[in-house]
Amino acid sequence: MPNPFRLLPPWRHKSRGFDAPIAPKSTFAVIGDVHGCDALLMRVLEQLRSEVPGIPIVFVGDYVDRGPESAGVLSRVRRLTLGYPENMIALKGNHEAMMLDFIDFPARSGHRWLMNGGDRTLESCGIPVPADMQNESDLIAARDALMAQMDPAIITWLRALPLMWQSGNVVVTHAGGDPGKPIEPRRGHGLLWGHPDFLRKPRQDGLWMVHGHFIVDEAGVTAGRIAVDTGAYRTGHLSAAIIEAGEVRFIGT
């Protein structure tokens, strides 16, 4: 059987407008947006364990929505982070933020979440999707059904997920933030939803940014940005970056 993973040639620093060498404290890996694709996640985890056993693995967020196995992905990622807290780090993505908004304010936030893939998350929990996604009573009923079905500990875990993780001069966030301002958790909107300048302007502070959120055809490196969201839910291609001093390489399903 052919190997379903691609190990791309190592990429060494060479980016116009950004000249800082990549220098994490130690080797680690980052997995892109999973979006309910639990089978793909298992395959990437297996490949990472084979290629680089024992290194920290950071999940870049967006575990839920759009794919068919959101409930399974949440359970798996939470279990890994609780079982291996030093080596498995989960960040929050904007889809987790939308899901929590739905839980807190179903009438106000339910339609947006459901239209952005939340319907698949409800289905993965065995909950019918409201026929009228703007009907307040139906949205509240769907929220109540989700709360009754989902382990409360998962919701507590989701609320506590951090927005960033850093090793040396390499920062991992879901969507990158404003390249012209310091990277801080309090700048949460840009870290979850991105910033208009993020893909246009390189940072000037020497920080490398690993991110998901913005779908790319292939995981890659551009001007200090390492993109790992390859649209797993629609392409079947979940990607991960292996990052070490002076080098970045990629695997993917």
Model pLDDT, residue 15: 56
- Indicate the number of domains in the chain: 2
Answer yes or no: do 48 and 69 share one domain.
yes
Q: Measured between alpha carbons, how far is 9 from 236 in angstroms, rounded to an integer? A: 21
What's the average pLDDT block by block, 10 residues per block, for the chain (253 residues)? 41 64 97 98 97 97 97 97 95 98 97 97 97 95 96 97 98 97 90 96 96 97 96 97 96 93
Find, among 245, 197, 204, 214, the residue nearest to 60 by Cα: 214
Token output for 200: 């246009």
Q: Of 132, 160, 188, which closes a domain?
A: 160
Distance between CA atoms of 109 and 85, rounded to whole angstroms? 32
How far is Cα 110 from Cα 104, in angstroms, rounded to an integer?
10
- Listed residue (61, 51, 47) closest to 27, CA to CA: 51
Q: Is the pTM of this model over 0.85?
A: yes
Q: What is the pLDDT of residue 45?
A: 98
Look up residue 216 and give its amino acid: V
| 113 and 229, same domain (yes or no) | no
What domain range includes position 123?
A: 94-160
Q: How many CB atoms lie within 10 A of CB 195?
A: 19
Q: What is the CATH number of the domain that holds 178?
A: 3.60.21.10
Q: Which of 143, 160, 177 is the last residue of a domain?
A: 160
